[in-house]
Structure 1
């Protein structure tokens, strides 16, 4: 049973450029412009009309955009829930400009050990994450730690939890790595390792979406009975001001927005792409978290019920539910 036909999320790519060289990501290899404030203003108006609730200003490294604070302030003022994930390298410098405009602020950290984290990110950014936590807390912000899990760093969860999360009163978001295109993320997690993540997610101050675990146990999305609702739940807008379908990671078709996102999204041509969500050959076995999470939330099935407890836990902790109230 579908709960809503409206999209709930916009992944707004402010640039594909990045100051890190993560081994599990290829986005930094793409040439890229930066989005403009004029386009953002118009697109946010259209996203509001379409019913979108959450704007994720992403990249690349979103803090490379010199107007990122203006985008966040505008979206937040319009009533959107705003989210931003950063490697932390520029956050201490920009923190005061961002203060109060990011509902869900995530710092990426994949190990409690400097050398291991920096090796995975391709640059020395561990110290910046530690400084970012300190600065954010001093400003009254409530950042989260986004931990991308691979087989090789699974055992680091305990150290990050004990050494970083609890002492700083943060939320640990467990983000199981996923494969896409030609990006290699190593061997898939075993049933024993998935069970470990599931148990870890029940701890205080930890967010682990059980839907992600269940989907991996089931072998990912299956094109004959797709769970993915990427195109109908999520708008992916590129730095070129294009609507990318069925999702950013496949990027099969890009439609120029041309200051008309509302009508474009409801057009027959885009509707045809929505009908193919989760059904394309490349969609078989997909477990991409950023599209599965909104997919779990719009249709009542076993993944909905698996994801619900952790989703409620996180939103109650962060207080983001208040942003959805009409007053």
Structure 2
């Protein structure tokens, strides 16, 4: 049963450029422009009309955009919940300008050991994460640590939790790695490892969407009975100011927005694409977290009930529920 017909989220790619070269991502390999303030202002207005509640300014590395603070401030002032994930290399320089504009600020950290984290990210960024935690806390910000979980770093969770999360009173977000296109992420977590991850997610100051675990145990999205509602829950806007459907990672079609996002998203052609969400051949077995999370939230299913406790827990810890009132 569908609980919500309006889209929930906008993944707004400010640029595909990145100052890191993560081994599990290919976005940084793409040539890319930067979004413009003029387009952002028009699109945010239309996103509000469409009913979107959360805007995730993403990339690439979103802090490479010189006007990222203005965009976040504009979205925040309009009542959107704003989110941003960064490798933290530029955060120390921009922290003052970003203060109070990001509701969910995530610093990526995949290991308690500098060498291992930096190797996975392709650049020396571990020290920037540590410095950024101190700076953010000194400004009264409440950043999270986003830990992308692979088989090879599962044993690092305990140390990150004990040495980084608890002493700094942060939230640890567990982000199980997912496959897409030809990006190599190594062997997938076993059932036993997923069970361990699920138990770890029950600890205080830890967030794990249990729907992610259940979906992996079930073998991912099934095209005959799709869980994924990517196109109807999430708008993806590219740095070229195009609407990308059904999702960034599949990116089957792109439509120039040209100041008409509201009408474009409600057009007959886009409605036809929405009806194909989760049913395309490439959707079989998909577990991409950034589209499954909003998908779980809009339809009554076992994934909705699996995701609900952890979602309530995170929103309570962060206080973001107040922004939705």
Which TM-score band (shorter chain)?
over 0.9
1:300 aligns to 2:315 (yes or no):
no
**How does 1:44-63 map onto structure 2 within 5 Å?**
44-63=44-63
Distance 2:27 2:189 in 1: 24
In the alignment, what sits opposite 2:70? 70
Q: TM-score, normalised by structure 2?
A: 1.00
C-alpha RMSD of matched pairs (Å): 0.3
**How does 1:131-146 map onto structure 2 within 5 Å?**
131-146=131-146
**Displacement, 1:321?**
0.7
**How does 1:199-278 map onto structure 2 within 5 Å?**
199-278=199-278
**Displacement, 1:251?**
0.5
| Cα distance per residue 1:94-135 (max 9 Å; x no partner) | 000000000000000000000000000000000000000000
| Cα distance per residue 1:27-80 (max 9 Å; x no partner) | 000000000000000000000000000000000000000000000000000000
The aligned length equals 325
In the alignment, what sits opposite 2:39? 39
**Displacement, 1:273?**
0.6
Distance 2:204 2:5 in 1: 34
| Cα distance per residue 1:273-321 (max 9 Å; x no partner) | 1000000000000000000000000001000000000000000110101
Structure 1: gaps of 5 or more residues: none
**Displacement, 1:208?**
0.6
| Cα distance per residue 1:245-297 (max 9 Å; x no partner) | 00000011000000000000000001111000000000000000000000000
In the alignment, what sits opposite 2:123? 123
The list of structure 1 runs, each at least 4 consecutive aligned residues, that deviate by more than 6 angstroms after superposition, is none
1:104 aligns to 2:89 (yes or no):
no
Distance 1:79 1:24 in 2: 33
Distance 1:260 1:324 in 2: 26
In the alignment, what sits opposite 2:94? 94
Distance 2:86 2:324 in 1: 24
Structure 2: gaps of 5 or more residues: none
**Displacement, 1:186?**
0.5
| Cα distance per residue 1:192-214 (max 9 Å; x no partner) | 10000000000000001100000
In the alignment, what sits opposite 1:287? 287
Q: TM-score, normalised by structure 1?
A: 0.99
| Cα distance per residue 1:71-95 (max 9 Å; x no partner) | 0000000000000000000000000
